Amino acid sequence: METITGNIKEGMGKGAHFLPQYAEEIKKYIGFLPFPGTLNLELDKKNKEIFEKEKTKQAPIIITPQILGSIQLFPIKIKKINHCSIIIPKKTTHPSNIIEIIADKNIKTELQNNNNKTVSFTFL
């Protein structure tokens, strides 16, 4: 598994609005209740290519609720964070080089990062 690194980007708060509506289903499939918000990472061209290559090696967990759009989950490992996952909503306004990460806690707080800092992860 290759390490992927991205720059933390400020979000628009949409994850905090929608994520609680998926929380119980996420817990059912990947074993943790997500913190109500996502961490947005901007990938440069090299890391985006690595991400796409590594993602094809994984079987996504797909959640399709009756009301909201479906999401794909890809469990990942971030240093010091035990439970986290890439979340890819079917409906998104993010460009393809922005990925969203969920965890059982606030990742920024746990890693003590601010915007424009980097976070690295690997797929499990």
pLDDT digits (tens, 9 = 90+) for 98-115: 999 999 999 988 887 555
User: Which pLDDT value is given to residue 61?
Assistant: 96
List Cβ neighbours of 59 (8 Å cut-off, separation of 6 or more): none
Q: How far is CA 80 from CA 32, 56, 121, in A?
A: 16, 25, 11
Stated pTM of the model: 0.91
Q: Amino acid letter at 3?
A: T
What residue has token string 């909503």?
89
Asked whether residue 116 carries a pLDDT value surpassing 70, the answer given is: no
For residue 123, CA distances in Å to 16, 48, 55, 85, 115 come to: 24, 14, 8, 9, 23
Closest CA to 23 of 80, 104, 91, 98: 104
45, with CB counted inside 10 A (0-12, 13-18, 19+), is exposed
CA distance 110 to 20: 20
The CA-based diameter of the chain, rounded to the nearest angstrom, is 37
What is the number of domains present in the chain? 1
CATH code of the domain in which 27 resides:
2.40.30.30
Domain that includes residue 13, residue range: 4-123
Query: Chain-wide mean pLDDT for the chain?
Result: 91
Residue 77: pLDDT band with limits 50, 70, 90: very high
pLDDT digits (tens, 9 = 90+) for 8-60: 998 777 777 788 889 999 999 999 999 999 999 999 999 999 999 999 999 99
The pLDDT score that the predictor gives to residue 35 is: 95
